[in-house]
Structure 1
Amino acid sequence: MDNAAIVSRGEKYVMRTYGRYPMALVRGEGARVWDADGKEYLDFVSGLAVNSLGHCHPRVVEAIREQVGRLIHCSNLYWIEPQVELARLLVENSALDKVFFCNSGAEANEAAIKLARKYAKEHRGPESYEIITMRRSFHGRTLATLTATGQEKFHHGFAPLPPGFRYVPFNDLSSLRAAVGPRTCAVMLEPVQGEGGVYAANKDYLQAVRALCDDEGLLLIFDEVQCGLGRTGYLFAYQYYEVEPDILTLAKALAGGVPIGAMLAKERAASAFAPGDHASTFGGNPLATAAGVAAFKALLQEGLVENARVLGQYFYQQLEGLVREFPQLIEVRGRGLLLGVEIDGPAGEVVAACQERGLLINSLHGHVLRFLPPLIVTREDIDRAVTILKEALHEVLGQGQK
């Protein structure tokens, strides 16, 4: 089928929970994808930070092929070899001690919320259940993670929302300190807010948040679903900040495109969970974790984290050049290969103009262009993307020098 046929059939049978572009992607390789009409695109969306190894990385493809012929699913009533191996890799390469596997970032954050509450009731008292999160944050679409998300637009239509969450401005320590009370059990935040508009935490702020949590006996939860696993130029975003969380959530890039989520915790927090406290039928299944082992080893062994750091800085500089050229561009934000450009203009039209020229990017809130190229991206890919972006900006915004 071509694009038109797939779109027509999709509109008939698929529930409308997404605003989709009128195209269907049917094949991918490395940093490029092709639609059903055969058009090629440079992919700087990467499945919303999922395809960090690029599309169909050979190590991941081979691991999936091998595992699917051996064992696809096994209940967590039994030990699962690739699950144990992926847990080992995550623990030995992080500051956390134990891992719970699930199927998505929202599920990982649900697990973190449950663990924080269970731990707090044992260590702070039965009324300690409240989690402080940040304005502009995004933690998922389940009722609990939707409520944890500090953006009211996601709450509309789903009241009553579950209690137990308070919101404070990001990078504002005094507001956070004032929000802590006897019911507080944890602070939850993204070191780099992705869906909120690409805002990075200040280093001194995160270090002060860690100190505050220590002083108050609170758990610190880092949601690295989007910004983790090499995306910021560090294996985990917390490493740049030199701040270790008590709980860390991962998903998106963890298995090279296969659905998976993980909640990691320090031993003192992890010990609050006992058998029966939490579970997931598909969580940590052999297929997903075998893909995860292959993807994580590729991330460690192929220089991709360093590539994200070096080329992320190069990309940042190229985008800054466009900001100097176009008055409607306000600033570049982000770290590594999680970058955003705020625009005083129709971001959606710029995205569409880029797409027409063979570059996939996306927009946030109508005024931020977001860039999530795969960690395998080359300097030539970035140069091509910047050239296309510049052409699109000329078309949509017109020419103008600052």
Structure 2
Amino acid sequence: MIVLVIGLAILLLVLGFEMFLVLGVSAIATKEAFYAAIPDPALVQKLIGGINHTTLLAIPFFIFAAQLMGSGQIASRLVGLARAFVGHTSGGIGHTAIGGAMAFGSVSGSAPATVAALGRMIYPEMRASGFSQKFSLGLIVSSAETALLIPPSITFIVYGWMTGSSIARLFAGGLAVGLVLGLAFAVLVMIEAKRSGIRATERTSSRERLQALIAAGWALGMPAIIIGGIYSGTFTPTEAAVVSVVYAIFVETVVYRDLGFGKLCEVTEQAAVSTAIIFILLAFGGLLSFFVTLAQVPTQISQFLALIDAGPITFLLVVNVCFLIAGMFIDPNSALLILVPPLFPVATALGIDPIHFGMIVTLNISLGMITPPFGLDIFVASSTLGKPVMSIIQGVWPFIGANLVVLLIVTYVPEISLFIPNLIFG
């Protein structure tokens, strides 16, 4: 059965079908071919019931908050704060890009939103400072990956919904992994700055840093509310998402006065379209996952691994290869929906911690965002900056290499993923 489902999905992809149709048609074809006794209304119940989950309410609100911040001043003030503290270092604007992406990611949870919000601000400054076009484009696209790891992360919310894992613990684990990935990119920036002869600039004064901190005060309130509220137990992730929207609207319309009513309506429409796309994928992905589970695919994978005497090390290598291949051809959310249901039960059966497995999965999803030929962030950057796709692809290769090194380390050193969750939650 699974061979036929995969074959049909590949055929639909080759024919150019949209991803939600690939998932939906594969699920319906599986039902008609192998489970015809299941009544048709049950499919509708699975479609609707699969996304009828309180946890998923966080997704539209975080998307809305990200759109608000990217269209207003919160994003630019966070970048200004990062520039004040790291802009003087060798290749400082590159470090500013990384710091700005991590700061924006801490309030948006979306990599494409981070690319769109920061690309126009950072790219001209990187070129003016002496970085090549390829490296500048590659850094902007790749640093946005950290938004999927630094909490709050929409990917963590979806993974937690699919596996029943604690979203708060996932957020805590993602903080460490995101910092490790950011440091790896910072090393590439230093190497490129030295190779290109880019000198360090004058260090900003304490007064200038204080001014930048004050200017970003309202912007910093967002991550403080979200992260502090979740970890202190004041908010659930869903409640934190709602609060973030209310806070963003207040700051951008009342404090900064940067968003008028017309712009607010436009941002709301954009957020609604983005939300609809994600939830259609979640609905059809959940339906396909139902039939995958019904066919006992996880059990078959476990039996196969036992037959070849494969332990956790080999299994995790297979997981990384599967996600790497999937990331080349399908969007990250679809890869998550297709691969996690059969692989997660096997991981837990092998004694792999669900939070650690979530870090591996999300790091793979992050890598898929920049992996040619269909990396989503590549096309977002091309549209935002008006640059050819091939120029961006040429620039991301060093960052893909750094990403693979970090993935290898995180995969086989679980303490990186589990240290902060265990420290906070025991």
TM over 0.5: no
TM-score normalised by length of structure 2: 0.29
More helix by share: 2
Structure with higher RCO (Cα < 8 A, 6+ apart):
2
